[in-house]
Amino acid sequence: MSRLQLGAEPTTARASKRARRREENSHEPGLFGVRTWTKTRLALACVFAVVAVFPLLYMVSLSFQPTDDIFTTHPTLIPSHPTTLNYVQAWTENDFSRFFFNSMGVALLTVVLTVVLASLAAFAFARYRFPCKELIFYLFLAALAVPSVDLIIPQYILMARLHLTNSLPGLSLIYTSENLPFSIFLLRGFFEAIPKELEESFRLEGARTLRVLTRLIAPLSAPALAVVAVFTFNFAWEEFVVASTLIDKSTRLTLPIGLNSFIGEHTTSWGPLFAGSMFATVPSILVYVVSQRWFRRGVSVGGIR
């Protein structure tokens, strides 16, 4: 027998022993008995999913129940007398439909402004050199540490001097300013990861800065732009404090304030309130479902960077 064969036999034996040990370890007792760790993790994921989804399912159930069934001593997840009257009342009473479209307009305008302005600023930070570049960038990041509640009075004074109180575009400007620091921070990392050689070859063909940004940088950064758009939409769609401070005209109220109108001083319309909450929840879910492919990729890659 050759030396090569003699040396190969112990190596093969050690490899097979390690394989058997890994197989034995993979069947060690998990959290719920003799299971593999994969099954244990799957079971834990199912438990957490149920805990996270159950409140939403219960809200859906309550939105289809009459008021008498909501206050029953034996709550049930499946309505015994389902009705759509709560949805009709929620949409037609208290001018709720107007609140819905007000919030939709504010949220969409905020997304457009944030994506455009953050893209331009992030591109400048990623590709150009100018005085105090890093200082300005870190000042943007410092804004993330300021609680939004502390900015309400300065924001109100600013909007009053600009005559933008009771203005939905003015509300969008406030939301845009609050979302810009994080958006610039996220997009700058993506833009810097794009090879400069691609941009240089693009410029050799006669493309200018705006064309480079819209035709090259933006398509390659679609996951990051999706993350910015989803976060911005959810923020503008759900925000309550600033909207209740700047808006007091009944025709320009947003959806969160409209939901609050179902809560009276002495009584609460629980059925319409849950139905209105469903109207407020569905757009956020739809936005995530539509953009989930880019959103998950953008979150994972952005977290690594």
Q: Which amino acid is at 171?
A: L
83: exposed, middle or buried (C-beta count within 10 Å: 0-12, 13-18, 19+)? middle
C-alpha separations of 26 from 30, 33, 96 in Å: 9, 13, 56
Chain segment 99-137, per-residue pLDDT in tens: 999 999 999 999 999 999 999 999 999 888 888 888 999
CB-based contact 102:253 (threshold 8 Å): yes
Average pLDDT of span 164-186: 93
Output the pLDDT for position 297: 60
- Average pLDDT on 130-153 reads 88
Answer yes or no: is pLDDT of 283 > 80: yes
Positions of CATH 1.10.3720.10 in the chain: 86-304
Q: Is the pTM here over 0.75, yes or no? A: yes
pLDDT in the model for residue 120: 92
Is the pLDDT at 233 greater than 90? The verdict is yes
Q: Which tens digit of pLDDT belongs to each residue from 43-91? A: 888 888 888 888 888 888 888 888 778 877 677 788 888 888 889 888 8
CB–CB of 276/97 below 8 Å?
Answer: no
Residue 212 confidence (pLDDT): 86
Tell me what pLDDT residue 15 has: 57
pLDDT class of 304 with cuts at 50, 70, 90: very low
Architecture of domain 86-304: Orthogonal Bundle (1.10)
Q: Which two tokens stand for residue 225?
A: 């732009």
| 282: helix, strand or coil | helix
